[in-house]
Amino acid sequence: MKEYPVFNAILNRRSIRNYTDEQIKDEEINQILEAGRWAPSAKNLQPWRFIIMKDAQRIEDLCQFTKYANILRKSKVNILIFLDKNFQGDRIKSIQSIGACIQNILLAAHELEIGTCWIGEIVNRHEKVEKFLNLPGNLELMALITLGKMPQEKKESRRIPLEELIIKG
Ligand SMILES: Cc1cc2nc3c(=O)[nH]c(=O)nc-3n(C[C@H](O)[C@H](O)[C@H](O)COP(=O)(O)O)c2cc1C
């Protein structure tokens, strides 16, 4: 029978907010970022930039900027995703491109049995984070992704039924 690995990953990926103590290997982080790098982007501008945080103290330092600090604390690696405004065309399309990059990251991690959670809430304090990290003005925080090995428990989620999503034209 034909297998559909991408479709399976899309259906089975869940936001994971609890992680085991197992470390994530550098090769795994590279593979995950490679998937992000190959996302489509408007005019192929590839406006995404990444900061990888593996050090528990550095992750702890970021906790002050989000109410989801408990998720950060349990995770082993954080990937911060930035929009490089020097590589920005139309802003909406640049941000959509970043979304495609993040989704690739989540799916690639899922395939490696690494759980992720997309922390968008930290963006509410993006200027403070950028200042704290001493970043140049062209980098705007778009999201933080927590990563860690998945515990065995099954995660549920729900979606709006397809027939409610299709608008009759
Ligand atoms: C743009 C965006 C921002 C999000 N921000 C947060 C967040 O700040 N904290 C959090 O726990 N989950 C966050 N999530 C994860 C969503 O809550 C989650 O994807 C949704 O509830 C569906 O669950 P699932 O990913 O397990 O299918 C975010 C997701 C997206 C796409």
CATH of the domain at 63: 3.40.109.10
Residue nearest (by alpha carbon) to ligand 1 atom 30: 118
- For residue 126, how far is its CA from the centre of ligand 1 (angstroms)? 17
In a domain, 112, yes or no: yes
Render pLDDT for 102-146 as a digit per residue (tens, 0 to 9): 999 999 999 999 999 999 999 999 999 999 999 999 999 999 999
- Indicate whether 4 belongs to any domain: no
User: What is the whole-number distance in angstroms between the Cα of residue 142 and the centre of ligand 1?
Assistant: 13
The ligand 1 atom at the shortest distance from the C-alpha of residue 155 is 26
Q: Which domain holds residue 83?
A: 34-151
For residue 1, the model assigns a pLDDT of: 60
Reference 32, options 141, 154, 145, 130; nearest CA is 145
Calculate mean pLDDT across residues 38-57. Answer: 98
* 54 domain-assigned: yes
Lay out the sheet containing 77-84: strands in order across: 48-53, 77-84, 139-149, 114-119
Q: Are 157 and 10 in contact (CB under 8 A)?
A: no
99 part of a folded domain: yes
Residue 59 inside a domain? The answer is yes
Task: Flag whether 14 is in a domain.
Answer: no
Ligand 1 binding pocket (C-beta < 6 A) is 14-15, 17, 68, 117-121, 155, 157
Is 27 a member of any domain?
A: no
CA 120 to ligand 1 center in whole angstroms: 7
128's torsion region: left (phi>0), alpha (psi -120 to 50) or beta?
A: alpha
pLDDT band at 155 (very low <50, low <70, confident <90, very high): confident
CA of 25 to the centre of ligand 1 (A): 24
List pLDDT tens digits, range 17-37: 999 999 999 999 999 999 999
In the chain, the number of structural domains is 1
**2 pLDDT higher than 90:** no
Give the pTM.
0.97
Which of 131, 81, 106, 78 is closest to 12 using CA atoms?
106
Task: Measure the CA–CA gap between 76 and 67, rounded to whole angstroms.
Answer: 18
In a domain, 121, yes or no: yes
